[in-house]
């Protein structure tokens, strides 16, 4: 798998390069030449006699890359105009600016800019965060409406290469030419949608740079082929015990649907025996539509939430199971808190904690130190915020650091969900971005928990079970939406479609 870097890891790599004998100036030259080379490759298919290129250069080192690129393009025979979106400020940018003396340099964008065949964005680099100025938003809107091919240098200006956010007005580029490695944010939505085709160019950072990283996390994006290979095999000489037994501790009188969706997802994804342990009222409501489940009624309070008396029953039943899911529709009471903590402390099988299980865990997260088995947490942004004691805004902005620290501090797998998901386990981070807006509905998290639990019960490691579940769920949603409106596709529809999608994905 190709390694993906955070902006800070890239800075460490560049600093290491200088120590190992390839200076930052040489890296800038290599980057500018690589960018120009890629533009020339694309220009070869252009039908115009002379290809016009406009290079937008900012005041920092990204602008320096642009100056080097502009010089190379002109020497190749392109008609090049440089537009300064700020005077060069860094020493490297000033040094690169000296290379383009005598070229067509303009300090104010004009209408001629919009007639270029290629517009190359070298304004901001991978350290950008915040918002674009109103002036740049207006310029970018005009550029977006032009017929030019839009090429980003390292990343589109406006993309946050850590969080994956994109500022208002960020260009949707035809192609992004990035250097050494793809950056984390550009592989996350919505930023990935602004990058277009992504080309990674070698700028000849010497071997040994990995030893200089402060953060050694290996970030990668598993290929669909690899994820598909994780699907458990189904030998013909088998029985229901061959494919595991999943214990689902889900549901309450207020949230019957969560238990139903998680159960059906597990049943439809190959689990040998799916056991739902829930209040009797929940079981009564869904048993007719999911008769294949094994049902275990649990003691509950007057409001329909399970009580602490359920714990010994669950631990007894767990002895026959190969994985457990807790939390979907569970509710938040003293009783459910006692059950979650008791499962964390006493189970000996893989445990997936989702939804209200996470909300209860957030009240006493140090209980994770008492575990003696593999645990997976599946928080969305709001739940991650509660686990880490920060605001939802902070959790969205610092998702990488928070989920990474949570995984390392407690030795658990953290599947930090969003439209693009980060999964941290054993010093590695895996990115998945499967799915579409059909999943932006209630029930998707319950479906994911049921799928993950099913694959874990069948013997897939937790860190891979959640990746496989995200892939299966997301791709199935995508396939359904080829012929249906995502507004109308529900978790029930996706679960029903698994009988087809598991054959063709």
- Average of pLDDT values for 115-121? 97
- Average of pLDDT values for 357-386? 97
Is the residue at 242 inside a domain? Answer: yes
Average pLDDT, the chain: 97
pLDDT value of residue 250: 98
CATH of residue 476: 3.40.1190.20
- Average of pLDDT values for 7-20? 97
pLDDT value of residue 45: 65
pLDDT value of residue 49: 75
Q: Provide DSSP, 258-295.
A: HHHHHHHHHHTTT-SEEEEEEEHHHHHHHTTT-TTSEE
- Average of pLDDT values for 427-448? 97
Name the DSSP class of 244.
Answer: -
The pTM of the full predicted model, rounded to 2 decimals, is 0.95
- Average of pLDDT values for 187-202? 97
- Adjacency order of strands within the sheet including 351-353: 218-220, 428-432, 421-425, 413-416, 375-377, 351-353, 323-326, 245-249, 273-279, 294-298
CB 259 within 8 A of CB 250: yes
Distance CA(399)–CA(421), nearest Å, equals 10
pLDDT band at 504 (very low <50, low <70, confident <90, very high): confident
CB 244 within 8 A of CB 273: yes
Is the residue at 251 inside a domain? Answer: yes
Report pLDDT digits (tens) over 35-73: 999 999 999 865 557 899 999 999 999 999 999 999 999
Report pLDDT digits (tens) over 212-247: 999 999 999 999 999 999 999 999 999 999 999 999
- Asked if residue 500 and residue 412 are part of one domain, the reply reads yes
**Sign for the pseudo-dihedral over CA of 319, 325, 326, 330:** negative
Of 216, 251, 280, the residue at which a domain comes to its end is: 216
- Asked if residue 284 and residue 397 are part of one domain, the reply reads yes
- Asked if residue 201 and residue 286 are part of one domain, the reply reads no
- Asked if residue 205 and residue 259 are part of one domain, the reply reads no
- Asked if residue 254 and residue 180 are part of one domain, the reply reads no
- Asked if residue 321 and residue 252 are part of one domain, the reply reads yes
Is the residue at 281 inside a domain? Answer: yes
Residue-range definition of the domain harbouring residue 127: 7-216
Listed in sequence order, the DSSP H helices in 105-196 are 134-144, 191-195
Question: How many domains would you assign to the chain?
Answer: 2
pLDDT value of residue 86: 95
CA-atom Rg of the chain in angstroms: 26
Q: How would you classify the pairing of strands 323-326 and 245-249? A: parallel
Is the residue at 2 inside a domain? Answer: no
Q: Provide DSSP, 176-238.
A: EEEESS-BGGGGSTTHHHHH-EEEEE---PPTTGGGG-S---EEE---HHHHHHTSPP--SS-
Of 153, 187, 216, the residue at which a domain comes to its end is: 216
Strand residues in 383-420 grouped as ranges (E): 413-416
Instruction: Determine the 3-state secondary structure of 432 from DSSP.
Output: strand
- Asked if residue 247 and residue 194 are part of one domain, the reply reads no
Report pLDDT digits (tens) over 26-35: 999 999 999 9
- Asked if residue 451 and residue 344 are part of one domain, the reply reads yes
pLDDT at 429 > cutoff 60:
yes
- Asked if residue 429 and residue 354 are part of one domain, the reply reads yes
Report pLDDT digits (tens) over 291-304: 999 999 999 999 99
CATH of residue 14: 3.40.50.10260
- Asked if residue 95 and residue 186 are part of one domain, the reply reads yes
Is the residue at 269 inside a domain? Answer: yes
Is the residue at 197 inside a domain? Answer: yes
- Average of pLDDT values for 301-314? 98
Distance CA(284)–CA(295), nearest Å, equals 10
């Amino acid at each position: 798998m190709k390694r993906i870097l955070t902006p800070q890891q890239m800075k460490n790599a560049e600093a290491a390069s200088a120590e190992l004998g390839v200076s930052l100036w040489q890296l800038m030259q290599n980057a500018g030449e690589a960018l120009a080379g890629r533009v020339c490759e694309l220009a070869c298919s252009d039908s115009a006699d002379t290809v016009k290129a406009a290079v937008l250069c900012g005041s920092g080192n990204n602008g320096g890359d642009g100056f080097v690129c502009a010089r190379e393009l002109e020497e190749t025979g392109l008609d090049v105009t440089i537009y300064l979106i700020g005077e060069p400020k860094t020493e490297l940018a000033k040094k690169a600016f000296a290379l383009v003396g005598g070229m067509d340099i303009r300090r104010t964008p004009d209408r001629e800019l919009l007639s270029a065949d290629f517009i190359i964005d070298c304004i901001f680099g991978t350290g950008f965060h915040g918002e674009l100025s109103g002036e740049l938003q207006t310029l970018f809107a005009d550029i977006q409406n032009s017929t030019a091919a839009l090429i980003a240098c390292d990343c589109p200006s406006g993309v946050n290469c850590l969080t994956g956010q994109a500022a208002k007005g960020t260009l949707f580029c035809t192609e992004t030419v990035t250097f050494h490695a793809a950056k984390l944010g550009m592989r996350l939505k919505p930023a990935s949608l602004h990058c277009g085709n992504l080309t990674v160019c070698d700028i000849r950072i010497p071997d040994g740079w990995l030893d200089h990283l402060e953060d050694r996390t290996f970030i990668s994006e598993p290929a669909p082929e690899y994820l598909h290979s994780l699907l458990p095999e189904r030998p013909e000489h088998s029985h229901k015990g061959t494919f595991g037994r999943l214990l689902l501790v889900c549901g309450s009188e207020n949230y019957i649907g969560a238990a139903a969706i998680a159960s059906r997802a597990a049943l439809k994804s190959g689990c040998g025996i799916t056991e739902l342990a829930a209040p009797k009222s929940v079981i009564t409501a869904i048993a007719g539509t999911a008769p294949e489940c094994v049902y275990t009624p649990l003691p509950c309070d007057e409001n329909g939430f399970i009580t602490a008396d359920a714990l010994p029953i669950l631990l007894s039943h767990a002895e026959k199971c190969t994985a457990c899911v807790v939390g979907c529709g569970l509710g938040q009471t003293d009783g459910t808190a006692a059950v979650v903590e008791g499962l964390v402390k006493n189970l000996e099988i893989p445990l997936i904690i989702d939804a209200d299980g996470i909300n209860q865990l957030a009240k006493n997260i140090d209980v994770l130190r008492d575990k003696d088995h593999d645990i997976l947490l599946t928080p969305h942004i709001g739940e991650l915020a509660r686990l880490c004691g920060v605001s939802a805004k902070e959790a969205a902005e610092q998702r990488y650091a928070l989920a990474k620290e949570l995984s390392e501090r407690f030795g658990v797998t953290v599947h930090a969900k969003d439209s693009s998901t980060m999964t941290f386990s054993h010093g590695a981070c895996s990115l998945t971005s499967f799915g579409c807006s059909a999943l932006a509905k209630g029930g998707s998290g319950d479906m994911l928990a049921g799928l993950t639990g099913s694959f874990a019960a069948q013997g897939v490691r937790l860190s891979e079970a959640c990746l496989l579940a995200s892939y299966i769920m997301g791709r199935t949603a995508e396939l359904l939406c080829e012929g249906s409106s995502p507004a109308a596709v529900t978790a029930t529809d996706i679960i029903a479609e698994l009988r087809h999608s598991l054959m063709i994905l």
